[in-house]
Structure 1
């Protein structure tokens, strides 16, 4: 039945880039992970977006899986599962992120038939299992299939006649069909953080541009603190791309989640009279007035 499901799903799955894409929201975005992961040259970077060429797209799902913001909708049709095992094929290489998400959704092993895992798969699997050990998860094993599933021509046509595409889709393993927003690694390991967001207080003016563009809502002002929730970070780099002061760094490291609270001050701007936040108690102008040319009229007067 898996051959039938693969064939039918490959006909109906068109990948689509949603408005969550950094390129569509942030003119300064440098994100290109989906473009870099596409092996069929189906993605093109435009001045304000990334577009998918449906004629070239094979619906392999590589871009969908690699997008840090889960901004691409569709199904990775090249992946096949047998119960709680991913079937090995050498025409694609999974990522550590992908395998870790599968693990949290019930994956126990990778199954191969005659040919064992190639070196690229082994490298990814070894790194995944190293990461899994850091988040208190058991490793993903490699097992050999006891038999090869075969689908006769009669079974194929009987299945088509008895229900067609709709029936076939309903018989596919539902637990492996994931929507765009389900490819967020942070959602599966809420007690850990995979990235640490650091703010250079000597550079940051707390203009809050990063607040606006961060879809994960990593940054918050809470009373007299800047609250940074690094466990929500997916390394989309929206904050580092938009920051005019180059004051943000994202460091890759797995550890128990630890929110950061940086002390801040509430000040009143001497030019416009508006209240603003600052790391420096001696600052007397808000970010807008600091960056406003002296010969410009104040927008608040």
Structure 2
């Protein structure tokens, strides 16, 4: 294959699921956000891993928007935005997550191409506005008026500046597709730094500080040091991997918008009353290490069976 052929091939792209997908990170993951939103059944599970069937995929971008960890890579379809107005139609309904991102990018009004808004589009607008209000923002306005594109007169300097911008846009479109992947732009948590979209709670009676949540969370929501167990939920968008993999079922997630609040639980250094070995615990009155506690529980169960 020649250089020209390779370059032409690089301009094309296909959606793909990255290794950062929670199902690729753990067989216990139950996330299926991409499957749930795909109206064309283009995504299936193969050996518990999501797989995109290229022949069915129409590259609508819904799976990209739905993924809580931005693990579906591709080029999200561009929207028409003129003078802070988003042009939409009943045929191509934007997602709520997309609306929240576009709001932070300057969109303040939604203009419908269709005379009447269908239920699906109205539902998206209502949900987006409800969330925006909770985030301390103004609601998006809705209009059915057409956007007028007035003819503009450019000075010589402005004309050259315009050509320069259009040239950069053309070069950008001619760049290899993977350079133009924009799936990470739909991480809503990066646009609303003062709020968190998920509440993470820990059952202090059962947590054993095994660090599984800390190791597997790409968003770095958990931090376990020698002195404290910290939870920072601002970056969390409820992939629920921590819930799925916790061996003690000690983690619970709740989708709820609230002001950012980091939580810190103290960690106590103890000496096991049974094996005399040092251990760490999140419970101040704990006197036995995890191994001895589980061994004791196993023996009690065995004796009751006998």
Query: What's the TM-score, normalizing by structure 1?
Result: 0.78
Which one of the candidate residues 218, 232, 235 is aligned to 1:229? 232
Deviations 1:31-51 (A, max 9, x none): 000011111111011224111
Q: Does 1:214 align with 2:217?
A: yes
Match of 1:182 in 2: 185
**1:98-247 equivalences in 2 (<5 Å):** 98-143=98-143, 144-146=145-147, 167=170, 170=173, 179-247=182-250
Match of 2:57 in 1: 57
CA distance in 1, matches of 2:235, 2:291: 26
Which one of the candidate residues 265, 269, 286 is aligned to 1:282? 286
What secondary structure is seen at the aligned counterpart in 2 of 1:102?
Answer: helix
Mapped contact 1:206–1:287 kept (Cα < 8 A): no
Greater Cα shift, 30-39 or 261-270: 261-270
CA distance in 1, matches of 2:91, 2:137: 28
What secondary structure is seen at the aligned counterpart in 1 of 2:94?
Answer: coil
**1:70-89 equivalences in 2 (<5 Å):** 70-77=70-77, 79-89=79-89
What secondary structure is seen at the aligned counterpart in 1 of 2:103?
Answer: helix
> Which structure 1 residue ranges, 5 or more long, are not aligned?
1-10, 150-162, 172-176, 295-301
Query: What's the TM-score, normalizing by structure 2?
Result: 0.77
Kindly state the Cα deviation for residue 276 of structure 1 after the two structures are TM-superposed. 3.4
Q: Which has the larger radius of gyration?
A: 2
Mapped contact 1:267–1:276 kept (Cα < 8 A): yes
Match of 1:95 in 2: 95
Decide whether aligned partners of structure 1 residues 116 and 199 sit closer, same or farther in structure 2, where only a CA change above 3 A counts: same
> Which structure 2 residue ranges, 5 or more long, are not aligned?
1-10, 151-165, 175-179, 300-306
Decide whether aligned partners of structure 1 residues 241 and 86 sit closer, same or farther in structure 2, where only a CA change above 3 A counts: same
What secondary structure is seen at the aligned counterpart in 2 of 1:253?
Answer: strand
Kindly state the Cα deviation for residue 275 of structure 1 after the two structures are TM-superposed. 3.8
Decide whether aligned partners of structure 1 residues 146 and 210 sit closer, same or farther in structure 2, where only a CA change above 3 A counts: closer
Mapped contact 1:272–1:289 kept (Cα < 8 A): no
Kindly state the Cα deviation for residue 78 of structure 1 after the two structures are TM-superposed. 6.9
Aligned residues: 265
